[in-house]
Amino acid sequence: MALLQSLQVVFAMGLVMPVLPRGVAGGKFPAVIVFGDSTADTGNNNFIQTLFRGNYPPYGRDYAGGIATGRFSNGRLAADFVSEALGLAPAVPAYLEPGRSIHRLASGVSFASAGSGLDDVTAQILSAVSLRQQIQHFKEYKARLRHAKGDAAANHIITRSLYIFSVGASDFLGNYLLYPIRRRRFTLPEYEAFLVGAAEAAVRDVHGLGARRVRIVGLPPLGCLPLLRTVNRVRPGECSGGHNVVAVRFNRRLRALVWKLNLELPGAGFENSVRGCCGTGYVETGVLCSLDNALTCDRANKYVFFDVVHPSERAYEMVAKEILNGAPHLLK
């Protein structure tokens, strides 16, 4: 049986940890396939019953045509930049968007849903598509590929594509640290272990369906998100050291998971990193950005964050470069 060819943790806006430095087969990627939350949702939430959408201004104002596609940024996301860098489409389409043929989705697709998480309960809070359901959509996608292109072509796409998991922040922000829903059941270390277990199950599931080249985007420094700076009661406006420790510890657990799975599975400077661009930059995300549109900054590329949680297009481009730099041999 074929080994998992490449699995890495990519630390958002940080460093890439290569876990298979030798013996990884090269070659081009026929597609970019994405799972995750609002950092990877390219428009799926536009087509489900949820209030958590980014399909209105000021989101998308720097996207081609100034269209608010549902991406939670002023422009494109990391997955879009990765796709373009690999010689594929400059934007990864959303799986749930009506009218997208399987032939269009064969070179890239995002199953991600804003508000989702590794924990199914996280997705339930905002009526998002859970990671478990996203993988079911992937299974459906695989069947559609086989029907449209035949077994050989479908197998090539599934086994040679680049898979990106960008998920986890919503679990901590919306389900534990800010809102104590899961605190009733888990201590913080227990919840971290639970989420890592969910990440392992997700990677094993897609591996079982044929995935072999996987990148996991780690957590950013949570305590430095504009939202967390705003609610920092001890040192208002400054990073929350405790929340950053959570991110570092969780990423360390992810690193250990990556090493385990690789053994076991067969086969730039910004001017503003304190506030978000939209509205006042202290509390706005989602629909609140549209309500304070008049206050939105003029040059989003000067900001790390577009709203109080989600990065700007420029920051996403940097994450994409980290993903790509982790496997330069695959770009030849």
What is the rounded end-to-end Cα distance, in angstroms, of the chain? 25
d(CA 331, CA 303): 29
d(CA 225, CA 217): 16
Q: Give the active site residue among 113, 240, 310, 312.
A: 310
Beta strands in the chain (DSSP E): 6-11, 16-17, 32-36, 108-110, 162-166, 213-218, 272-276, 303-305
d(CA 286, CA 303): 17
d(CA 224, CA 241): 8
Q: What angle do CA 327, 19, 171 make, to 5 degrees?
A: 95
**How many Cα atoms sit within 13 Å of 263 on the Cβ side?**
6
- The answer to whether residue 310 is catalytic is yes
Token pair for 256: 């250990």
Q: Give the active site residue among 38, 116, 166, 273.
A: 38
Pair type for strands 16-17 and 6-11:
antiparallel
Q: Give the active site residue among 41, 119, 171, 307.
A: 307
Residue with tokens 């596609």: 69
Taken in order 69, 71, 74, 76, is the CA torsion positive or negative?
negative
- The answer to whether residue 38 is catalytic is yes
> Which residues are the active-site residues?
38, 307, 310
